[in-house]
Amino acid sequence: QVQLQESGPGLVKPSETLSLTCTVSGGSVSSGSYYWSWIRQPPGKGLEWIGYIYYSGSTNYNPSLKSRVTISVDTSKNQFSLKLSSVTAADTAVYYCARESVDIWGRDYMDVWGKGTTVTVSS
């Protein structure tokens, strides 16, 4: 079955850019049935959707983060990536990649998640 795995630095300095990659196994990012998303969870807090990318490269970002976020896809490596610029301590969180599926009736849901990776913003 499809599995997702996040990777990237666990420590980022303030004002720098956070970069994470999600590797998809057991499936393809080029499938037209899915959107590939990033979600984060600050320590002890709830979940925040960051954005998604479609295999074609079209994106949709959370307006609260839009000015700092870039999500890209590399179909040759079966990966998609997140860049978050100008980070502060408030960006410290567990970052998850997830697959958003849409069924034939147009109902969507996030059915596959990576295990998550902890990113700490600190000097």
Stretch that binds another protein, among 13-21, 23-31, 75-83, 96-104 (CB under 8 A): 96-104
Query: Do 20 and 81 meet the contact criterion of CB atoms below 8 Å apart?
Result: yes
Among the listed residues 81, 52, 80, the one whose alpha carbon sits nearest the alpha carbon of residue 65: 52
* 11, 25, 115, 120: residue in contact with another protein (rule CB under 8 A): 115
Q: Give the residues across from 20 on adjacent strands.
A: 82
Q: Determine, following the binding rule CB under 8 A, whether residue 113 of this chain makes contact with another protein.
A: yes
Residue (75 or 102) nearer to another protein, CB: 102
Using DSSP's 3-state secondary structure scheme, residue 90 falls into: helix
Site string for another protein, 27-66 (x = CB under 8 A): -------------------xxxx----------x-xxx--
Among the listed residues 3, 25, 8, 34, the one whose alpha carbon sits nearest the alpha carbon of residue 94: 8
Q: Give the residues across from 19 on adjacent strands.
A: 83
Q: Determine, following the binding rule CB under 8 A, whether residue 84 of this chain makes contact with another protein.
A: no
Q: Determine, following the binding rule CB under 8 A, whether residue 73 of this chain makes contact with another protein.
A: no
Q: Determine, following the binding rule CB under 8 A, whether residue 104 of this chain makes contact with another protein.
A: no
90: phi then psi, degrees, rounded to nearest 5? -65, -15
Strands 34-41 and 3-7: unpaired
Residue (16 or 116) nearer to another protein, CB: 116
Name the site residues for another protein (rule: CB under 8 A): 46-49, 60, 62-64, 96, 98, 100, 103, 105, 107-111, 113-116
